[in-house]
Every structure is written in structure tokens, then in C-alpha cells.
Amino acid sequence: MAVLTELLRALTSGRISVIDLTARLTPEVPVLQLPEPFANTIGFQLEEISRFDDRGPAWYWNNIHTGEHTGTHFDAPVHWITGRDGLDIASVPPRQLIGPAVVLDFAAQVADDPDFLLEIDHIRDWERTHGPLPADGWLLLRTGWDTRSGDQDEFLNADENGSHTPGIAPECARWLAEETSLLGIGVETVGTDAGLAPTFEPAFPCHSLLLGAGKYGLTQLQNLALLPPTGAVLIASPLPIAGGSGSPTRVLALVEQD
């Protein structure tokens, strides 16, 4: 028990900080909008059951109404047709809900180009400074997009040509899926793919290639600016929805302080 005891001491003393990477679930949280004829998810809603009144004099509780892919959420492989025979959200091994995380920061580039795409060369340049991507870990793409999360229109950033949000180039998504031992990727945008991903080949490459390879996705992350490039430990806690394609998720990072 010495290791766990030391972890608790580090948390209590502040040598390890816990950073919440999760967007608060409110009716205002941005949700993906697919064009007709495709069906869309609902947003988040609370329905009060009782609140210290005749319906329940000593207790307060609510029903929740939401989609699996609302707010900060976890994409399981079965979410996409390429992973249809893969794991549902309740079947993700608990050991894979905790792992090392690295942060690739391209917020400056995205400020100049909202359609910025992460390329393989970007990752190789990053690795020359920080070392290899972590086995059984997460690549978190910081773009600064979380600063837009309070406004649906600004977050989706759509015009007549589609949504303009940053993401990962198709060839990079394929490389991450086939050539790395990552658990998955995490982004600050509404989904793991770039806004213009419907026009890519393949369409929605992060969904198609990474989920098809049995990897995972985390979306609508917050506070990635507070994480170091390497050294954080990520904890993702989705609801174990039997047969579910994903789940709203509390995502935490453990960061060792100097």
C-alpha cells in the first residue's frame, strides 16, 4: 500500500494537483448539429422531481435528459460503423480509463486559421523535443477552442461552406490509428474531427480510423492550457451504459507540481 499512501500524501500536500478538464453540463453546452436528413442529439436538460416540497419534503433530485455525445464525452469504438463490432462504453476496460497524457499546443496557429489541421510532421517535430507519444496514453490537442464554449454559434463556427473548427488531417489520423499505441485522442472541439471533415477522404477520419482501430475519443475538453506537454496522468470516468456508444464524462488530470 506504500505507493497509494504516497499518492494520497502528494494529493493532500499539493505536490500533485487535480485539474478538471470537463465542461459543466448545462442547457447551454454546445451540441453537434448535423444537416438534414440526419437525426441530431438533444442537449442537456434537468427535470426537477422534488425539492424539499410536497413531492419530497426532505430531498432534492432531478431526472436528466441528454444524449451520449453531449458536453465533454467519451467516444467508444462502437460509435462508428468501422468499429461497430468493437467495445461499447460499458465494456471499456477500467485500466484504460487511466493513462499518461501529452499535450500538443497549436492554439497560436488556430488563432490565425480556424481550419488548422494537425499533420504527422507536427507530431514528429514535437517528439524531437519531448520524446515519443506515450504507449497506452492520450494525445490531447490544445487549440484554444475551449474559450468559445460559452456560445453555440461561436463554438460550431459554421457558414454556408460548413463548420470551421480545427482538427486532425486524414493521413495523420491514419498514422495515429495504425502506427501508434495510443489509447486515443482528446480535443477541445465539439467532436474529434475537424469541422470540414465531411469533405475529407475518408470522411470523418478520426471517427472512421481511430474508432475503427479500437481507440477512443474525448471531446469538448477544457483547461488543457493548465497541463504540461508531458507528465500528466489522465482519468476519464464515463457512465457504464450497457450497449452505449459513448457517455458524458468527467475527465481529470493529475499534474505533479515543481
Residues 206-257 have pLDDT tens digits of 999 999 999 999 999 999 999 999 999 999 999 999 999 999 999 999 999 9
- How many whole angstroms separate alpha carbon 184 and alpha carbon 218? 8
Place of cell 485500466: 95
pLDDT score for 249: 98
Catalytic residue among 69, 73, 79, 122: 79
Across the range 29-43, mean pLDDT stands at 94
φ, ψ at 232 (rounded to 5°): -80, 155
Chain segment 130-161, per-residue pLDDT in tens: 999 999 999 999 999 999 999 999 999 999 99
User: Residue 81 contacts by C-beta under 8 Å, 6 or more apart in sequence?
Assistant: 208
Inter-axis angle of helices 170-179 and 120-130, nearest 10: 50
pTM of the model as a whole: 0.96
The pLDDT assigned to 60 comes to: 98
DSSP the chain: -HHHHHHHHHHHHTSEEEEE-B----TTS----PPTTS------EEEEEEEEETTEEEEEEEEEE--TTSSSEEE-GGGSGGGTTS--GGGS-GGGGEEEEEEEE-HHHHHH-TT-EE-HHHHHHHHHHH-SPPTT-EEEEE-SGGGGTT-HHHHH-EETTEE---EE-HHHHHHHHHH---SEEEESSSSSS-TTGGGSSSSSHIIIIIIHTT-EEEESB--GGGS-SS-EEEEEEE---TT-SEEEEEEEEEEE--
Which residue in 3, 44, 8 sits closest to 23, CA to CA? 44
Q: Quick check: 189 pLDDT over 80?
A: yes
| Mean pLDDT of the residues in the chain | 97
Q: Nearest to residue 213, comparing CAs of 170, 176, 249?
A: 176
Q: State the pLDDT confidence band at 39, using cuts at 50, 70 and 90.
A: very high
Strand partners, 249: 238
Indicate if 79 belongs to the active site. Answer: yes
Query: Quick one: which of 118, 125, 115 has its CA closest to 157?
Result: 115
Kindly indicate the confidence band of residue 258, based on its pLDDT and cuts at 50, 70 and 90.
Answer: confident
Q: How confident is the model at residue 54 (pLDDT cuts 50, 70, 90)?
A: very high
> How large a percentage of the chain has pLDDT more than 90?
98
Contact 73, 247 (CB under 8 A): yes
Give the type of residue at 216. Y
**Based on the number of CB atoms within 10 Å of its own CB, is 71 exposed (0-12), middle (13-18) or buried (19 or more)?**
buried
Q: How far is it, in rounded angstroms, from Cα 195 to Cα 30?
A: 14
